[in-house]
Amino acid sequence: MAAVHILGPAFSNFVRSAMLVCEEKGIDYSVGLEHSGRQYQMHSPEHLSVNPFGKVPVLFHGERKLYETVAICRYLDAGFDGPSLQPADPWQRALVDQWCSALAVQVDQALVRRYLLEFVMPQIVGGEVSMDKVREAEPGVVNTLAILEDQLRDDGYLVGDSFTLADVIAAPMLDYLVGMAPAQPLVNEAPKVQAYVARLKDRASTRRVLVEPVFSA
């Protein structure tokens, strides 16, 4: 049995963030909506019993269960051997925390919930892409990319020269955005973001995690 189980579909950007921490730390893990012979379908009573907000991921570590992506990532980083993904310097750590929070809330809402999912959900549950909603979401994508473009340098990572938990949260959502054809006119206006995603995808961990997704209900 793996040391930890990450509950959730492997295409979820937040599930992928938890997977990235495991890959970076060398933690043996499993992923999916089944654990110890029990199914946890999304929003089912079983799922709500381990996260009353009905979100993923949920981390199983022995008898422990933990939800909220940033908390999971911090726990995995602090609780297991391997390279630290959080700076020792208090100010640098605070900056990483700042970006983790902003990415998990504001950036995820702008890029994933309001924009990318308008293209993805029809693949999962059927239906058609609402181009009205896509156009409504585009200004938020443009603004978010401008904020990231201002933060990034021509090299390094989101906070300084080291790969941190901020990059763990950013990588899956930006990888999806940069790889989506309809988003290219927006992404082309953010060359530093494009170069950043390319640097992220040079890492062994991201090559294993940021693979072509298989969407299913």
CA–CA distance, 102 with 169 (Å, rounded to integer): 10
Question: Which residues, in sequence order, are bridge partners of residue 39?
Answer: 34
Q: pTM score, two decimals?
A: 0.95
> Which tokens is 45 given?
């009573």
Domain ranges of the chain: 4-79, 90-207
CA–CA distance, 10 with 1 (Å, rounded to integer): 18
CATH number of 4-79: 3.40.30.10
**Maximum distance among all Cα pairs of the chain, rounded to whole angstroms:** 49
* Phi-psi domain of 161 (left: phi exceeds 0; alpha: psi -120 through 50; beta: other): alpha
Backbone Cα Rg of the chain: 17
pLDDT tens, N- to C-terminus, the chain (217 residues): 899 999 999 999 999 999 999 999 999 999 999 999 999 999 999 999 999 999 999 999 999 999 999 999 999 999 999 999 999 999 999 999 999 999 999 999 999 999 999 998 776 767 788 899 999 999 999 999 999 999 999 999 999 999 999 999 999 999 999 999 999 999 999 999 999 999 999 999 999 999 999 886 5
Question: Which residues, in sequence order, are bridge partners of residue 35?
Answer: 38
pLDDT digits (tens, 9 = 90+) for 132-182: 999 999 999 999 999 999 999 999 999 999 999 999 999 999 999 999 999
Architecture of the CATH domain 90-207: Up-down Bundle (1.20)
pLDDT at 216: 66
> Which tokens is 24 given?
């970076």
How many C-beta atoms lie closer than 10 Å to residue 21's C-beta?
Answer: 27
pLDDT at 127: 79
Closest C-alpha among 184, 172, 182, 176 to residue 209: 172
> Which tokens is 173 given?
């959502």
Q: Do domains 4-79 and 90-207 have the same CATH topology?
A: no
pLDDT at 7: 98
